[in-house]
Amino acid sequence: MKVRKNFVSNSSSSSFVVAFPSKPRNEIELRNMMFTQDQSVISLYYDKDEDGMTVGEIACIVFREINDQGESASLGQIEAELYRDEPQKAKEFSEKHKDHFILCTEYEDHGKQGSIMEHGDIFDNLDHIRVSNH
C-alpha cells in the first residue's frame, strides 16, 4: 500500500499557447500587446491594490519567458503543450499564426503570483489556447 508522506495540495496548473503579433522587443511593447491602456493592476480579488500585480510586473515575467524560449514555438512544441490530445487544433493554431511569435508556457497557482498568472486572464487580448492540467 502506498502512503503519502508529504502535504497534499489543491493547486492546479495550466499550459498556455499564446500568439503575439510579433516578438516583443521590450517589456513596454509586450505590455501594450497584452493589456489595454486602462488596465494597471490584475487581481483575482476585490482589493486590487493589495492583492494584485501590476501589468508591468506581469509583462516582465512573460518577457523573460519569451527570451528564455528564444524562437517562436514549433508545431511540435505546441502539440506538446496540448499533450498531443488535439493535434488538429495544434496544427490549425500553428497555421493560423505562422507570421506570429508563439509562446508556450505553463503557470501553477502556488502563491499570489502563480495564481494571477494562471487565473488572471492575462492573455485575453491575444489569441491563445489554455489547457488545464489538473
Please provide the distance, in angstroms rounded to a whole number, between the alpha carbons at the two ends of the chain. Answer: 24
Domain containing residue 79: 13-132
In a domain, 5, yes or no: no
Residue-level pLDDT at 4: 34
In a domain, 69, yes or no: yes
Three cell numbers written together for 80:
506538446
Are the C-beta atoms of 100 and 19 separated by less than 8 Å? Answer: yes
* Reported pTM: 0.86
In a domain, 85, yes or no: yes
Residue-level pLDDT at 12: 84
Residue-level pLDDT at 84: 63
The number of distinct structural domains making up the chain is 1
Residue-level pLDDT at 3: 38
Give the residues of the chain that fall short of pLDDT 50: 1-8
Average pLDDT, the chain: 87
In a domain, 99, yes or no: yes
Residue-level pLDDT at 102: 97
